[in-house]
C-alpha cells in the first residue's frame, strides 16, 4: 500500500513563493510517474506537473511552466513543487499522485494515477 501526504500549503501574496512537499510511504514503481494536480471547488482536477522516476524527465502545464518546479529527494522519499511568482489563479487544493506507468503521453490524465494524497490548500491573495 502506498500512502502520500502533502504539506506546505498556505497563504501567499501575488508574486510570492511556496514549496509543497509530498511524503511517500510504501513501495512505488521506480519506473513510474509522480505528479501534482490542483482543483478548484466545482471544477475538475487539473494537471500541474509530472516527474519521471526513472529518467528524471519533467512535464508542466502551460499555466505554470517557467514558474513552478517539480523535483524529488529520493533519500527522503519526498516529492516537491516549488511555486514562484504565484498568481491568484494558482489558488486551489494541490494533490500529489503516483502511478506505475512511465511518463509517456498520458501523464496529464487524472484517471491514470493509482494513488493520491489528501491535498493541501494554496491561497494566493491579490
Q: Which residues of the chain fall short of a pLDDT of 50?
A: none
Task: Return the residue matching grid coordinates 512537499.
Answer: 21
Closest CA to 22 of 100, 112, 116, 114: 116
Give every CB contact of residue 124 below 8 A, 6+ residues apart in sequence. 11, 12, 13, 14, 16, 86, 87, 88, 89, 90, 91
| Of the candidates 4, 5, 17, the residue with the CA atom closest to the CA atom of residue 122 | 17
- Residue keyed to cell 502520500: 4
pLDDT value of residue 74:
80
Name residues whose C-beta falls within 8 Å of residue 78's C-beta, 6 or more positions apart in sequence: 21, 22, 23, 24, 72
- The predicted pLDDT at position 117 comes to 98
pLDDT at position 30, please? 87
Q: How confident is the model at residue 112, as a pLDDT? A: 96
Mean pLDDT score of the chain, rounded to an integer?
Answer: 96
Amino acid at each position: 500500500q502506498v500512502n502520500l501526504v502533502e504539506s506546505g500549503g498556505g497563504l501567499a501574496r501575488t508574486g510570492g513563493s511556496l514549496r509543497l512537499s509530498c511524503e511517500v510511504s510504501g513501495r512505488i514503481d521506480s519506473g513510474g510517474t509522480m505528479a501534482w494536480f490542483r482543483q478548484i471547488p466545482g471544477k475538475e482536477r487539473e494537471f500541474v506537473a509530472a516527474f519521471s522516476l526513472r529518467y528524471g524527465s519533467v512535464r508542466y502545464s502551460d499555466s505554470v511552466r517557467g514558474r513552478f518546479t517539480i523535483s524529488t529527494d529520493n533519500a527522503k522519499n519526498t516529492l516537491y513543487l516549488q511555486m514562484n511568482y504565484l498568481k491568484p489563479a494558482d489558488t486551489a487544493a494541490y494533490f500529489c499522485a503516483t502511478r506505475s506507468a512511465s511518463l509517456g503521453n498520458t501523464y496529464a490524465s487524472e484517471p491514470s494515477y493509482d494513488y493520491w494524497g489528501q491535498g493541501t490548500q494554496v491561497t494566493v491573495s491579490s
